[in-house]
Amino acid sequence: MTMDYSGCDMTRPIDPDVRLLAALADPARLEILRELAGSSEVCACDLTDCCSLSQPTVSHHLKVLREAGAVVSERRGTNIYYRVSPALIERLGVIARGLVPGGLVPVADLTGRRPAVSAANN
């Protein structure tokens, strides 16, 4: 694997959470991800016309998503099939839980159910 760190700050080693969020924080990449979520597997060739972007640009975005751990890829013949990473949702959940106010707090929020919140601190 041997990550490429050229042109990297090196003063701090790049928070993986920030890297993941940055990977999602682009309209093209978020659209690609949603396309991937729509059908469990999508060929890269079908993603090329997804955001009206050139093939190299889509390839670049896929690389960013892959290196951030947001998608996984598998080559079959000439084609490469992309899938949403099985770990993605859980990682987002961990990040979100880390932002729940009041230090450590139940968790149920993420499901939409309210945990009768926050008679906690102040």
What is the binding site for DNA (CB under 7 A)?
A: 7, 9, 22, 26-28, 43-45, 48, 53-57, 59-64, 73, 75, 77-80
In this structure, the strands spanning 79-84 and 42-43 are antiparallel
Beta-bridge partners for 84: 71
Residue 35 contacts by C-beta under 8 Å, 6 or more apart in sequence?
Answer: 42, 47, 50
Residues 74, 72: Cα–Cα separation, whole Å: 7
| Residue 16 C-beta: closest distance to a second copy, Å | 11
Q: Does 32 bind a second copy (CB under 8 A)?
A: no
Interface residues with a second copy (CB under 8 A)? 12, 15, 17-18, 21-22, 24-27, 30, 33-34, 36-41, 83-84, 88-90, 92-93, 95-96, 98-103, 107-112, 118, 120-122
